[in-house]
Amino acid sequence: MNDELRQRVIQALQRGEDLPNEWARELFPPEKREYELVYYGKEREEDIIAGTMAVPLQAERTFGKNGVDWHNKLIFGDNLQAMKMLLEEKRAGRLCNADGTPGIRLVYIDPPFATRQEFRGTQDQKAYQDKVAGARFLEFLRKRLILLKELLSDDGSLFLHMDWRKGHHAKIIGDEIFGENCFVGEIIWKRATAHAQKQSFGVVHDTIYHYRKSASSFVWNPQFDAHTREHLDKYYSNIDSDGRRYTLGDLTAEGSGPARSFFGKLLEPPPGTHWRYAQKKIDELSKEGLIVMTANDRPRFKRYLDTLAGKVVGSLWLNLPAVNSQALEDTHYPTQKPEALLQRVILSATKAGDIVIDAFAGAGTTCAVAEKLGRRWVGIDCGKLAIYTIQKRMLNLKTDIGNKGKALKSQPFTLYNAGLYDFSKLKQLPWADWRFFCLQLFGCKDEPHTVGGLPLDGKLKGSSVLVFNHHEQPGAGIDEETVRSIHAAIGKKIGRKFYIIAPRGVFGFQQDYIDLDGVRYYAMRVPYSIINELHQREFTALKQPDDEMAVNDTVDSVGFDFIQPPKVKWTVGVNARKGQLIKEAFLKIENFESRARLRGEDTQGGMETFSTLMLDFDYNGDVFDLDAVFYNHQMEEAGWEARFSAESLGNNVMAVFIDTHGNEAREVIPLAQFGLHPPKQVAKKIKAKAIPKVKAKAKSQK
């Protein structure tokens, strides 16, 4: 429906008139009459793609040596905005598989399941609770599926992992976006053993929906399971004189066809069937001894066991158990999926060197398995817990699936921020990189041009953009007089809007814009949250969980912000309790203050804005190696203390304090500050589990 018709419909309804019949085709297009999921807040696909900000990626750190045409990406931020940026990279030819094909070859996502039911972990803690329900969740998922489809290569696939609560809705949305003819199949994964429920059958499975980007072709590699002893005894009980096992298979298929000659005897196929092979192929197989006649004169195909890769995997996956607390691959992250599950998915739909993306990366299983199988990967998550869990996992890989075998050094990967930036690092960028980042940050086109002799850098919604070069003019500022000078020179030639991007401290006035003779001059400050007037939606920030059940909350942020580390006052020590064999160390938060700029306003918060405390018990001075997590509610219940075994501590402890917006403050705490001293001989790094309820494990693996 175009804008003109939309206004006419609104006006007719306001007047209380019936809509003309001739509008029916526009209001209800024939291609959408078969079915469509209708709900409040559903947007057009075109508006979703156009209206999503492509927030730039700020490299935080690279692990390993780069210097190749591709490096794997771990992205912290809202996945919708990060995917829009990846889409820009695809269009620019920078998001390619090893064979040069643009786009992602495989998408696997395991989004939150939008349930208000609480799951309890092994320590009776809430493991997670998906709070986004109903229409809001459906549109949240639909937006991401639309962007993911755009990211796929033409022969790519998407695997959507859901449970019984919203799977039926997800299937309809998938059919709308990809087309029912691109629905490949439904996979049932048995994730739990049978258990009793009071008034229903116990739910023991999840559903995975498989779609392909194109109806013509897609990458597909059949997967095989090893034959069980029971299967061999039942179907491969025949043994040749040389000891080879075989079975006798049918030579017919459904349909009709002519008679064929078998060993000189012309045989008609049974009614309603036809012989699978032409006469020439039948003669070849007979000479090879692969066709035999049974006692009732029925030709059968002789299939040897050693010629098969195994039993072809169907859509019912029963032999891939969920991750339990004793598994070597267990990261203690709620809803973690087993590596064997992702191995089957990745091998079925990719080749070596293909890009695999998981936009809800969580525990990082997709990234880890892609690495082990020689695939390129992109992992996105809005939670700091997920990011640090994945970072640790990728730096401690084992070669075999299930985290077994020898140590495996991962290929280089870079940790990026998308939507929450470190201004101190940005300001140090060379001019060309600073200019490029600023244009991306505010969604401007990189379009150098000149107006009235003044060189300009880009366009924003058709209006000119100037990126101030603070490198070339150190100490210079932009005040109202500067704006008036620009207006005097080019004011009649630039239309109604003009944008100036510069570091925040460069501007000598506080207002967002200055109006001069009908021209509005915008001050685009860096660091600065988004100017709401310039975008379709108000800015909403990332939100970090403050308890275990919120780990998988959906996040739908719009815009960007800049890192403002919280201020934390803390103390550490050791509780020397009588009769206690193991010394208990503690870290107590005395005061916590967070700062953020939301919807153009500076905000401050106290203890209620504290999200999580993460600890590395033996910090090596380089990489933060996550050992324990303490959530807001745990700390509050314990008097804002985190308690852990003193024997687990190395020479230095790294503490990361995170607020609800993802800002973090880091502190390196020497062992001596706890009042402890290292033993005279420390052979290697000691790692021990924390005493308190550090991480919850979900009974139901999502």
State residue 124's pLDDT score: 35
**Would you say 133 and 85 are in contact if contact means Cβ atoms under 8 Å apart?**
no
What gap in Å lies between CA 620 and CA 597, rounded to an integer?
34
Nearest CA to 699 among 520, 580, 548, 594? 548
29 prior amide bond cis, ω within 30: no
Nearest CA to 558 among 500, 602, 605, 598? 598
Check whether 142 has a pLDDT greater than 50: yes
**Backbone dihedral angles phi then psi of residue 227, each to the nearest 5 degrees:** -70, 135
Do the domains at 51-223+313-418 and 563-674 have one common CATH topology? no
State residue 459's pLDDT score: 95
Pairing of strands 445-451, 104-109: unpaired
Check whether 688 has a pLDDT greater than 80: no
State residue 153's pLDDT score: 97
- pLDDT tens-digit readout, 333-385: 988 999 999 999 999 999 999 999 999 999 999 999 999 999 999 999 998 99
Lowest-pLDDT choice from 93-102, 253-262, 520-529, 620-629: 520-529
Check whether 232 has a pLDDT greater than 50: yes
Radius of gyration of the chain (CA): 31
Check whether 128 has a pLDDT greater than 90: no
Lowest-pLDDT choice from 16-20, 83-87, 217-221: 16-20
Higher pLDDT, 149 or 470: 149
Mean pLDDT of the chain: 86
Q: Give the DSSP per-residue string, 162-193.
A: E-TTTHHHHHHHHHHHH-GGGEEEEEEEE-S-
**Would you say 659 and 566 are in contact if contact means Cβ atoms under 8 Å apart?**
yes
Q: Which of 122-126, 363-367, 424-428 has the highest mean pLDDT?
A: 363-367
State residue 473's pLDDT score: 81
Lowest-pLDDT choice from 324-328, 376-380, 594-598: 594-598
- pLDDT tens-digit readout, 3-37: 777 888 888 888 888 777 777 667 766 555 456 78
State residue 116's pLDDT score: 41
- pLDDT tens-digit readout, 485-518: 999 999 889 999 999 999 988 999 988 899 999 9
Average pLDDT over residues 93-118: 84
Average pLDDT over residues 394-420: 95
C-alpha atoms less than 13 angstroms from C-alpha of 108 in its C-beta half-sphere: 27
Lowest-pLDDT choice from 156-170, 251-265, 525-539, 560-574: 525-539
- SS3 of 222-255: CCEECCCHHHHHHHCCEECCCCCEEEEECCEEEC
Give the amino acid at 7.
Q
State residue 166's pLDDT score: 85
State residue 644's pLDDT score: 94
Average pLDDT over residues 563-581: 85
pLDDT confidence bin for 197, thresholds 50/70/90? confident
pLDDT confidence bin for 699, thresholds 50/70/90? very low
What gap in Å lies between CA 97 and CA 277, rounded to an integer?
38
pLDDT confidence bin for 158, thresholds 50/70/90? very high
Topology of the domain covering 563-674: Immunoglobulin-like (2.60.40)
pLDDT confidence bin for 65, thresholds 50/70/90? confident
What gap in Å lies between CA 568 and CA 496, rounded to an integer?
46
Check whether 131 has a pLDDT greater than 70: no
Nearest CA to 64 among 473, 413, 469? 413
Q: Residue 63 CB: number of other CB atoms within 10 A?
A: 18
Lowest-pLDDT choice from 89-98, 149-158, 191-200, 414-423: 191-200
pLDDT confidence bin for 555, thresholds 50/70/90? low
Give the full edge-to-edge strand order of the sheet including 316-317. Answer: 57-63, 413-418, 72-77, 376-381, 355-358, 104-109, 152-162, 205-212, 183-190, 316-317
Domain segments of the chain: what residues?
A: 1-30, 51-223+313-418, 225-311, 429-534, 563-674
Check whether 577 has a pLDDT greater than 70: no
- pLDDT tens-digit readout, 435-470: 999 999 888 999 999 998 999 999 998 999 999 998
State residue 195's pLDDT score: 74
Average pLDDT over residues 94-116: 87
State residue 125's pLDDT score: 35
State residue 323's pLDDT score: 92
What gap in Å lies between CA 396 and CA 410, rounded to an integer?
8
Residues in CB range of 600: below 8 A, 6 or more apart? 512, 529, 531, 532, 539
**Backbone dihedral angles phi then psi of residue 592, each to the nearest 5 degrees:** -140, 125
C-alpha atoms less than 13 angstroms from C-alpha of 256 in its C-beta half-sphere: 2
The H or E element spanning position 445 is: strand 445-451
pLDDT confidence bin for 683, thresholds 50/70/90? very low
Lowest-pLDDT choice from 41-45, 60-64, 638-642: 41-45
State residue 685's pLDDT score: 46
Write the burial class of residue 3 (CB in 10 Å: 0-12 exposed, 13-18 middle, 19+ buried).
exposed
Q: Which of 196-200, 228-232, 339-343, 604-608 has the highest mean pLDDT?
A: 339-343
Check whether 687 has a pLDDT greater than 50: no
Check whether 537 has a pLDDT greater than 80: no
Lowest-pLDDT choice from 58-67, 102-111, 642-651: 58-67
Lowest-pLDDT choice from 323-337, 430-444, 524-538, 594-608: 524-538
Check whether 594 has a pLDDT greater than 60: yes
Topology of the domain covering 51-223+313-418: Rossmann fold (3.40.50)
* Dihedral (CA of 669, 674, 679, 683) sign: negative
Check whether 118 has a pLDDT greater than 60: no
What gap in Å lies between CA 421 and CA 557, rounded to an integer?
14
